[in-house]
Amino acid sequence: MPLFGTDGVRGLANGPLTADLALTLAQATAVVLGQGRSAEARKAAGKRLTAVVARDPRISGEFLSAAVSAGLAASGVDVLDAGVLPTPAAAFLVGDRDADFGVMVSASHNPAPDNGIKIFARGGVKLPDIVEQRIEHAMAGPKLLPTGPDVGRIRRFADAEDRYVVHLLGSLPHRLDGIHVVLDCANGAASGVSPETFRDAGARVTVIGADPDGVNINDGVGSTHLASLAEHVVRIGADVGIAHDGDADRCLAVDADGNIVDGDQIMAIIAVAMKERGHLTDDTLVATVMSNLGLHKAMEAHGIRVEQTAVGDRYVLERMNEGGFALGGEQSGHVIMSEYATTGDGLLTGLHLLSEMARQKKSLAELASIMTVYPQILVNVKGVDRARVGDEGVQEAVAQATAELGVSGRVLLRPSGTEPLVRVMVEAADQEIADGIAHRLADVVRQRIAL
């Protein structure tokens, strides 16, 4: 089974993800990413390889980031230890400091016992599959470790947070004065930097989920648990709520009445604003196949084209890089603004969303009304052969359902990449219609391609 998943290496800390694995992975990363023209040019100029290392506040991050730093330093790489910071901050700092690569120790929205290791190449970009494969292969290879003065040094990156905050504030088209926001930091990596940044941008800030103790990350708070944020916003009469996940690469929101505003709605608001400013490259938004039909219709109404990718922010980013597009993301709240970031950035997204509220002097509910969210149902059909999703009978049923829905809905069958199941997604103008068609299709899938 491959070591790297869709977003780095992830698993139970001290289960499959041990300090030994972290150290070996770091050494292999130094070997692979220490090669190439830029690295050789640096060496020729007498400069040492440099890496930025950061983590979220879960307890296992302490020993895993120490192991990563040890592996890098033992391989002759100087380490800039940025401490607890969001994943997008780590990615930004790699480019800002002209480092050769970076490592983020985080399991994002997963519970505290899990952890992960994400690696960024030069410029703060995610690694392509082929490079991950080379690193995994290098883990089993020989380690030519330097001695004496050639070993790496580990230094505290003292102004890492300040650099990131200045970068975020410099991206804003409009200050947030007059907006009262509740920030839910998921007891995660944004707990220190997010409240500071929103206050510096002019907002009045109330904070929840910003008391990390190493074991409470994502525990009933953050972008995967929005009930507490909605309750706080309504109870204190705030204008808006912003929720991050554990490593703050996501942003979801709630309006003044506690209604959820998801990633699709956030992208719609930002896309139209960017088009008005002339910043939306080719008037194009990149989104996954799971984005709501309402997003497509709203963008069409505003003269914006939507390019679709497979599910996963890495696929969104790949298409954005290929086409030079400026905005993309997922319904889950991963929003990528390539003018300012190389990955999803929950703080950047939240700041720009509130900036539009302030600029237009409109509530979030008014802005979100740009898009009608179509009722959507997702049914997981288990115990089926996902490789046979192209079965003739299944496809006939899909075609029939698609014709039945017409332009007012859509059908998507998506085989799982890891389990014997097929996901049946149906959108329609009416929830009852969506439910009926989805369960009818699920029955066909179950009958036709059962294991």
Binding-site entries for Mg(2+) = 108, 245, 247, 249
Which of 255, 17, 250 lies closest to 115, judged by CA? Answer: 17
Beta-strand ranges (E) seen in 185-292 are 204-208, 240-243, 252-254, 260-261, 284-288
| Binding-site residue set | 108, 245, 247, 249
SS3 content of the chain, % helix, strand, coil (to 5): 40, 20, 35
b or e along 420-443 (b: 16 or more beta carbons within 10 Å of the residue's beta carbon)? Answer: bbbbbbbbbbeeebbebbbeebbe
Determine the residue type at 88. Answer: P
Separation between Cα atoms, residue 296 and residue 274, nearest integer Å: 17
State whether the Cα torsion 56-61-65-68 is positive or negative.
negative
Separation between Cα atoms, residue 30 and residue 333, nearest integer Å: 32
b or e along 184-207 (b: 16 or more beta carbons within 10 Å of the residue's beta carbon)? Answer: bbbbbbbbbbbbebbeebbbebbb
Residues 53, 69 contacting (CB under 8 angstroms): yes
Give the active site residue among 65, 106, 108, 291. 108
Per the annotation, the verdict on 363 as an active-site residue is no
Taking each helix axis from N to C terminus, what angle separates 263-277 and 346-360, rounded to the nearest 10 degrees? 60
The single-letter DSSP state of residue 127 is: P
Separation between Cα atoms, residue 297 and residue 284, nearest integer Å: 14
Separation between Cα atoms, residue 241 and residue 364, nearest integer Å: 10
Active-site residue list = 108
